[in-house]
């Protein structure tokens, strides 16, 4: 039995300009996952993988773009192993 992709993620992916690279799509989708409360690494990989993206690529971006510096990183991982996007007021 196959589980359908998350509707919000599926909608976002379908609304993105077709010219946006897969790499950039995955970055946007990871951020949206986190904002939706899908914030555990394995679940993020599963959800974006259901949209047809390579889970290894998703995992690499999830890891590589995580860190404490909001000027360099898109998100961070808390001690509870959940990902969070950096607060908007920290990026200015």
Q: How many residues are recorded in the chain? A: 92
**pLDDT averaged per 10 residues, the chain (length 92):** 76 95 97 95 96 97 96 95 79 42
Structural domain span for residue 41: 7-87
**What 3 state SS string does 21-54 have?**
CHHHHHHHHHHHHHHCCCCEHHHHHHHHHCCCCC
Indicate the number of domains in the chain. 1
Give pLDDT, residue 6.
87
Radius of gyration of the chain measured on its C-alpha atoms:
13
Confirm whether pTM is higher than 0.75: yes
Q: Please report whether residue 92 resides in a domain.
A: no
Which residues, in sequence order, are bridge partners of residue 77? 83
Contact (Cβ atoms closer than 8 angstroms) between residue 22 and residue 67: no
């Amino acid at each position: 039995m196959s589980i359908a992709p998350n509707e919000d993620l599926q909608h976002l992916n379908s609304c993105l300009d077709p010219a946006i690279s897969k790499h950039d799509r995955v970055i946007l989708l990871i951020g949206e996952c986190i904002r939706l409360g899908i914030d555990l690494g394995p679940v993020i990989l599963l959800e974006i993988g259901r949209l047809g993206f390579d889970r290894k690529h998703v995992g690499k971006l999830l890891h590589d773009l995580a860190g404490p510096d909001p000027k360099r990183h898109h998100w961070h991982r808390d001690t509870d192993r959940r990902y969070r996007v950096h607060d908007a007021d920290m990026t200015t």
